[in-house]
Amino acid sequence: MLKIDLTGRTALVTGASGELGRVTARTLAACGADVAVHYCGSRDRAMQTVEAVKAQGRRSVAVQADVTDFESVTRMAQEVQEALGTVSLLVANAVIQYEWKSVLDQPLADFQSQFASCAMQTVHLAKAFLPGMIAQHYGRIVCINTECAAMAEPGVAAYTAGKRALDGVVRCLAKEVGMHGITVNQVAPGWTISDRDRLAHTEEAPDYVRTVPLGRRGTDTEIANMTAFLLSDLASFTTGAYIPVSGGRVMPAI
């Protein structure tokens, strides 16, 4: 029987105090990884995630950083190295939240923030963590993209632009580091049910669900499971991929 086994690996999940990030951190811990829990401003929620990881018998530490600032990311990398050792599993999940509007109404700063928190976050993380992966000739990077990057729907231009820029970085990076035994992939969630929905009882979205071939919204756990798979050796020959987890709403063409 196949099993996702991350035993002996150290992971970093950015945005791990948020909805999808904390589920991802817990999932990686369940697979055997020690997990560094990144947060920007929500330390209390990050510490809750740390305790959840430790409850599964894994080591964990909360680390603060602004992923749009390279010096801040470099400092975080040093803290993780000192606390947990070399990161070999990296999940770029953090993103700046903003109010979606039409291109004409969207403030220019929102386009800049999305590029910074999507594309530049990945560049910063690569520069900070790839040297350690290259030294051990092993590494797995998963960037969280979105179905919006493929759908390009009205009102989502800043988010779409930032994530499509991320896609370009990932594809180039995958070709640059493959020779070192490092894979770089993307998971692209659809509109996902999280704890926020469960608490507010907002899981139902009939208009959206009608556009999903599988006839429902996905869950945070389903996204985290795909991330864990791509971080494992079960996906050792997959790199440069954009993998929708959207119930068939996005089907990339060949």
CB atoms within 10 A of CB 109: 10
The count of structural domains within the chain is 1
Is 68 part of any domain? Answer: yes
What CA–CA distances, in Å, run from 116 to 13, 50, 109, 138, 254? 17, 26, 10, 27, 30
CATH number for the domain that contains residue 152: 3.40.50.720
Cross-strand pairs, 91: 13, 142
The whole-model pTM stands at 0.96
Is 206 part of any domain? Answer: yes
Query: Which residues have a Cβ under 8 Å from the Cβ of 253 and sit 6 or more positions away?
Result: none
For the segment 140-169, what is each residue's pLDDT rounded down to a tens digit?
A: 999 999 999 999 999 999 999 999 999 999
CB atoms within 10 A of CB 201: 7
What's the burial of 152, exposed, middle or buried (CB within 10 Å: 0-12/13-18/19+)? exposed
Is 127 part of any domain? Answer: yes
Which one from 39, 138, 159, 242 is the annotated catalytic residue? 159
Q: Report the SS3 class of residue 185.
A: strand
Query: Is 242 designated active site?
Result: no
Range of the domain at 222: 10-245
Is 4 part of any domain? Answer: no
For the segment 183-232, what is each residue's pLDDT rounded down to a tens digit?
A: 999 999 999 999 999 999 999 999 999 999 999 999 999 999 999 999 99
Q: Where are the beta strands (DSSP E) in 125-181?
A: 139-144
Cross-strand pairs, 10: 34
